[in-house]
Amino acid sequence: MSHIKTFFSLILITVSVVVFFAFQQKDIAPPKAVFPIPSVKQLAWHEMEMNAFVHFTTNTFTDLEWGYGDEKEAIFNPTEANTDQWMSTLKNTGFKGVILTCKHHDGFVLWPSKYTEHSIKNSPYKNGKGDIVKEVSVSAKKYNMKFGVYLSPWDRNSADYGKPEYITYYRNQLKELFTNYGPVFEMWFDGANGGDGFYGGAREKRSINRKTYYDWPNTLDLVRKMQPKVVFFSDAGPDIRWVGNERGTAGMTNWAPIVADTLYAGMPNAERLLNTGSENGNKWIPSEVDVSIRPGWFYHAKQDAMVKTPERLFEIYLTSVGRGSTLLLNVPPDRRG
């Protein structure tokens, strides 16, 4: 009997101690965050792990990687375009989102923009009534895939590129994309800016100040007001940074924070910093690994035998997602679409 009393006494003591500390815990404040920390939308983006890049424009038909800007609109004519098939394939492969090159450096746009004639509206695709941006966004929603936008800041077709007027033009295109095609999870800004081009017939080389020309603070603020949940990718963020190469490899040590005070989109010689981040970084800007499944970013028939093997793709997964980045794998459609 004495053993039983002792046993119940121990139980009562244990319960009392647990209750005591439970009440005490209410008075203990949670630990303060160690800054920098990710935002809610950055965490949501990071949890996606794998997204698909879709490079598709006149380059697909001219067999080029960078168009000069003087391409005839009539060359764009995919005969069997089926964006449902794209999304079904990507979804079944494990991708969570898709980013479409709505405009590459050549300036040709895949939607019927009212601000340029270098557009799908002047192509034979669907008798000028086609809108690849809409088709992809609708199919993405149908297959529960998130939709993202690539809009090249550099435009080798526009006569205004390099002038103040071009910024208004570029922002008008952003307004079209962010008000007419539903939620956009990621906005992808390419770091390639300035050089030779058609430029409305001038056929010359133009240079810009990469740090100031686009007035990024106000340009990004314009987009945020339309869609607050979008994350911005560029060499320098502000939400996601380039990993510093297109080989599919993040740094063995790959910090999400980075010292961002002197970093800007298009900054030269920043590859090493972008690849590793900064242990003592002052901004949370995780890296995204962009790489193509083929040697080129656009489809070229001569590269059909050079598609990356499953073994190589798994290695890339390990050196991207496995090192704390997300993977953006380019899978370009052929000329049929």
pLDDT digits (tens, 9 = 90+) for 101-160: 999 999 999 999 999 999 999 999 999 999 999 999 999 999 999 999 999 999 999 999
Question: Where is pLDDT greater, at 311 or 33?
Answer: 311
* pLDDT tens digits, 251-307: 999 999 999 887 777 777 889 999 999 999 999 999 999 999 999 999 999 999 999
Provide the pLDDT for residue 25: 54
* CA atoms of 64 and 298, how far apart (whole Å): 8
Report residue 3's pLDDT band, with 50, 70 and 90 as the boundaries: low
* pLDDT tens digits, 192-246: 888 999 999 999 999 999 899 999 999 999 999 999 999 999 988 999 999 999 9
CA 143 to chain centre: 19
| C-alpha distance from residue 43 to each of 46, 251, 286, 324 (Å) | 5, 20, 10, 12
Provide the pLDDT for residue 10: 43
Report whether pLDDT(59) > 60. yes
Helix/strand/coil for 22: helix
**Backbone dihedral region for residue 186 (phi beyond 0: left; psi -120 to 50: alpha; all else: beta):** beta
Provide the pLDDT for residue 2: 52
Report whether pLDDT(75) > 60. yes
Report whether pLDDT(9) > 60. no
The answer to whether 327 and 50 are in contact (CB under 8 A) is: yes
The answer to whether 46 and 325 are in contact (CB under 8 A) is: no
Lowest mean pLDDT among 16-30, 40-54, 256-270, 272-286: 16-30
Copy the structure tokens of residue 250: 């993040």
* CA atoms of 198 and 196, how far apart (whole Å): 7
Per-domain residue ranges for the chain? 41-330
Report whether pLDDT(182) > 80. yes
Provide the pLDDT for residue 20: 45
> 166: which residues sit within 8 A by CB, 6+ positions away?
155, 158, 160
CATH class of 41-330: alpha beta
CA 95 to chain centre: 13
Residue in the structure block whose two tokens are 């656009």: 298
* CA atoms of 190 and 48, how far apart (whole Å): 21
| C-alpha distance from residue 215 to each of 78, 135, 242, 318 (Å) | 36, 31, 20, 37
Provide the pLDDT for residue 305: 98
Report whether pLDDT(84) > 90. yes
